[in-house]
Amino acid sequence: MTQIFTNARLILPIEEQPKAGSLIIDGDRIASEGETAHAVHGEEIDCKGRLLAPGIVDLGVFAIDKPAFRFGGITRAALMPDQSPVLDLPAMIKQSAAEGKPDLWSHPIAAATMGLEGKRMAEIGLMKRSGAKAVATGRRWIADSGIMLRLLQYCKSLDLPLIVHSEDAGLTRGAVATNSETATRLGLSSATAAAEAIAIARDIALVRETGAHVHFRQVTTESGLDLIRAAKSEQLPVTCGITPAHLLLSDIAISDFRTFTRLSPPLRSEDNRLACIAAVKDGTIDVISSGHDPRGPEDKRLPYAESAPGMAGAETLLALSFTLVRDGTVSIGRLFELLSANPAKILGVEAGQLRPGYEADFILIDEDSPWQVDTRKMAAAAGNTPFDGLPVQGRVTAIYKGGRAY
């Protein structure tokens, strides 16, 4: 069946700003885009001048949460291996890949080591055959450099990206905050932000040795970003990401002991936050993802130091990211590179762009629609967001997966 989406403002590859025109869908693929749709016969859908953008590809979620993803315009989600049980066997990869279809595609990420313990490599080759698009160290950093070297060599031979968590556990063990005046005043156990740069430096050295693609899932410090910037100048195959929380909040947000601000990595200083904004602007950061990790009262209604890290980020990802467009940090075209095109490229899937031949995964957006983040009304499995009560703009009005509306 042919569908023609008319009267749209299209977010197209390479274009900085939306382009007025139509999008033509043939079955579950994009057929073409252009200023008019004359001489094409099919069902017409009037977009009423709204933004028509590629569906968001959320790289590195900790739960498949379809209601939250639908609200946030997420059509594909790469699921971290930190599940119960850990995604370290081919059968688990197959099962997770089927979850959510057809209205959402889950891309399970294979555990780098058995049980994510950092000691023994998992059967990565078999998990790739079962559908894994990437490998990850989970919430942990692999301290054993010998294992990390062999892992990178294996990922290189299989042409799989390795997604890493970058904090030296020898420095951060037991810490719940970044070393700062705020942490000292609150009496919270803290660790130096240099733990991130130390981990990144080691892994970049091993990338230089192996040529494997490493994606640093969250880089949140100026020194860490400087290392990524230098590695890219060498043409090393490294990419990195961040969440809106680390772009919009500093460690001052933890001042009331609110456990919704307990994240991993922890919120950083204002200087580091501003360095992250600059890194988005200059292209050092490749991906903005939600880090979606819904946590219920049993994990969050605890003393700060005993609570579990994580935030429900899927519903707020788009609206919070629009802040970067409104303040002039990035164009709207660049924003969807960060949210859709780049994560799809890392996963090696034909999605994330309004390009002929690609999967017809797209969303209609009213970018000026105002709403307020409210933990009590969130569609997510749990409403643990540090942005509760924040007025935002930008709402998904329709979501299409493979050309079908959901």
Q: What is the pLDDT of residue 38?
A: 56
Cβ pair 87, 369 in contact under 8 A = no
Determine how many CB atoms are found less than 10 A away from the CB of residue 374: 13
Q: What is the pLDDT of residue 35?
A: 61
**Percent of the residues in the chain that have a pLDDT greater than 90, as a whole number:** 94
Integer Cα distance of 291 and 60 in angstroms: 6
Q: What is the pLDDT of residue 33?
A: 83
Q: Which of 43, 48, 77 is nearest to 63 (CA)?
A: 77
Q: CA-based angle 134:138:142, to the nearest 5?
A: 100
Integer Cα distance of 335 and 324 in angstroms: 8
Domain ranges of the chain: 56-353+365-394
Indicate the pLDDT class of residue 115, thresholds 50, 70 and 90: very high
Q: What are the angstrom distances between the C-alpha of 335 and each of 13, 23, 34, 300?
A: 11, 20, 21, 31
Integer Cα distance of 95 and 229 in angstroms: 38
Q: What is the pLDDT of residue 41?
A: 78
Indicate the pLDDT class of residue 243, thresholds 50, 70 and 90: very high
Looking at the predicted structure, is the pLDDT value of residue 64 above 60?
yes
CATH code of domain 56-353+365-394: 3.20.20.140
Integer Cα distance of 268 and 25 in angstroms: 44
Integer Cα distance of 109 and 215 in angstroms: 13
pLDDT tens digits, 370-394: 999 999 999 999 999 999 999 999 9
Q: What is the pTM of this model?
A: 0.95
